Amino acid sequence: MYVIKNYSRLPVSFVRGEGVYLYDDKDKRYLDFLSGIAVCSLGHSHPKLVEAICGQAKELLHVSNLFENPWQEELAEKLVEEFWTAGKVFFCNSGTEANEAAIKLARKFFRDRGEDRYRIITFRKGFHGRTYGSLSATAQEQFHRGFEPILEGFDYAELNDIDSVRERLREDTAGIMLEVIQGEGGVNECDPEFLRGVQELCRERGVLLIVDEVQTGIGRTGRFYGYQHYGIEPDIITLAKGLGGGVPIGAMLARDEVAKHLTPGSHGSTFGGNALACRAGLVVVEEVKRLLPHVAEVGAYFRKKLEDLKVGKVKGRGLMLGLELERECRDVVLEALERGLVVNCTAGRVLRFLPPLTVEKEHVDEAVDILKRVL
């Protein structure tokens, strides 16, 4: 009644969750193959996560970023340990904010060196968020409509087409920003060769490579960061979603040499990386590191089962999978929900699966059985 209707919500009200299951207000059980769109990486009510959050709530929820923050230090160290080189972390609250930080840092990096470079190349069907910088980086006009003018300084290229990147590179290009697997755009994976080409162009032209790992990061694809599958070395990566396991947190990691340009006072966030969010992040990161082989194994199993359905093209990696149908998939989502399976439809015809990273093969069997009946 009083909430703005900016979402088309599905007709279910979940009241509790346990592992990979959700329960609605009539106590009906659902298998959750969406995880709050890649957020609840450890499933629901994970005992270690619950304990850490409750414990921290009893001690201290928040102090301003005006003060020392040992929880951020601890979490940042864990995130940098997995990065390809020495780096530093800025904490915020969401994916769009992490990308705003990345865009600002890319501009500042060059401006501090007296170079007037500010443009960023992004990709068609990509998604980087809804605030103005990230929205402008999102090369999909449907998200811009009515909100124009979007920000100046973004050039849109075609994914997996290195010539289209080369054509858009200019003297004043500061960065190239991409998702190694586009999530919202329909689970579209970058070709390894294309990514290596982008990396080469970045090195040749001194352009920063920014990888948006908001959806692909924190174990989702079977590696800690999605870029690790492709042998590239980004200058900046952005994180959010799965990092807090359900507690809002975002992060931007940058190579030391780049990170140092985010000087005191240049950027900030009131809530970013508060004690509660970082404690949650610490538990998630510890657990996810252990779960990586599991994600790869169950992901491959799930992929095979989807392929065996022979109803469409299977896309993605690990536990970030898509099934591209010949038709619109919203009805499939509704019918699956009716039968107790939560999935999502993206880019019109792509059924998207983002189960908790703790999902087991028997849950995959259960989900595929439901899908089989629905399809």
Ligand X SMILES: Cc1ncc(COP(=O)(O)O)c(C=O)c1O
Binding site for ligand X (CB under 6 A): 94-96, 99, 127-129, 179, 183-184, 212, 214-215, 240
Q: How far is CA 375 from CA 123, 310, 330, 366, in A?
A: 32, 11, 12, 14
Q: Which residues of 182-211 are buried (b: 16+ CB within 10 A; e: fewer)?
A: bbbbbbbbbeeebbebbbebbeeeebbbbb
Q: Which of 83, 109, 127, 224 is catalytic?
A: 127
Residue among 318, 366, 374, 365 at smallest CA distance from 345: 374
Q: Which of 212, 224, 302, 305 is catalytic?
A: 212
Nearest-approach distance from CB 163 to ligand X, in angstroms: 24
Instruction: Find the angle CA(307)-CA(312)-CA(315) to the nearest 5 degrees.
Output: 65
Q: Which residue, 17 or 183, is less far from ligand X as judged by CB?
A: 183
Residue among 128, 86, 287, 322 at smallest CA distance from 214: 128
* Residues 34, 342 contacting (CB under 8 angstroms): yes
* Residues 219, 41 contacting (CB under 8 angstroms): yes
What is the greatest pairwise CA distance in the chain? 62
* Residue whose Cβ sits closest to ligand X: 95
Q: Provide, for the chain, the percentages of residues in helix, strand and coil under a 3-state DSSP scheme, each rounded to the nearest 5.
A: 40, 20, 40
- For residue 310, indicate whether it is catalytic: no
What span, in angstroms and rounded, lies between the C-alpha atoms of 275 and 173? 37
Q: Which residues of 355-368 are buried (b: 16+ CB within 10 A; e: fewer)?
A: bbbbbeeebbebbb
Nearest-approach distance from CB 59 to ligand X, in angstroms: 27
- For residue 127, indicate whether it is catalytic: yes
Question: Residue 103: in which H helix or E strand, if any?
Answer: helix 95-112
* Residues 371, 312 contacting (CB under 8 angstroms): no
- For residue 315, indicate whether it is catalytic: no
First-last CA distance in the chain: 35
Residues contacting residue 278 through CB under 8 Å, at least 6 positions apart: 69, 71, 72, 74, 75, 91, 249
Catalytic residue ranges = 127, 212, 241
